[in-house]
Copies of this chain bind each other. A is one copy, B any other.
């Protein structure tokens, strides 16, 4: 159908090639950004990612801790040991150089690959192989999945609202994107079901 679909957007090496993202790799900038927004420990970075950008980016602890070390060596964050009792703990703060590096990354012009991996849509694509009844069941399953996502995102809206009133308005936008995208999928399911 469309050689055109990918027009001009050669996939970036891996997901976040250092060369394509200014030397740190996308995960590194995500960690840097979260520290900039107030995450103090690696653990808090993980929490914040799970609570905010999980809809379009994930990261595991295994990537976070080495990233923090690299960022500190680069002078983009400063860390100090702040154990809780005898439990080790290291807290970080972004530096001026770190904030500048983050801004430079945000300003980088290059391509911004949008990569969706969705087994549900793959199955729907082949659904004609099934009978009409079973295909409709698959359609319903995909629809339900998006409804669950919408419900989950709606629960977070008040938090984003609060952040927005503090002056950070863009997290609200990315939340609305998530809502809009899944609502669009639900609507597409409904419209298709009508035409059947």
Contacts and interface: CB of A to CB of B under 8 A. Distances in A.
Interface of A: 1-8, 11, 15-16, 21, 26, 29-30, 33, 36-37, 50-58, 99, 102-103, 105-107, 112-130, 134-135, 138-139, 141-142, 145-146, 148-149, 152-153, 155-156, 159-160, 163, 167-178, 180-181, 183-185, 187-189, 191-192, 196
- Which among A112, A155, A169, A187 has the highest number of chain B CB atoms within 10 Å? A112
Number of copies of this chain that the complex holds: 2
Nearest to A172: B192
A153 to B, nearest CB: 6
A28 to B, nearest CB: 12
Contacts of A11: 58
Contact of A5 (B119, B149, B177, B189): B149
Given A36-B126, A128-B167, 10 more contacts: A1-B159, A2-B54, A5-B152, A7-B148, A26-B122, A56-B121, A107-B134, A115-B117, A116-B116, A117-B117
Contact of A192 (B3, B58, B124, B176): B176
Given A54-B6, A117-B56, A181-B184, A129 B99 contact: yes
B106 A55 contact: no
A175 to B, nearest CB: 7
A165 B21 CA distance: 45
B3 A125 contact: no
Nearest to A157: B1
A151 to B, nearest CB: 8
Nearest to A107: B134
Contacts of A30: 122
Contacts of A172: 192
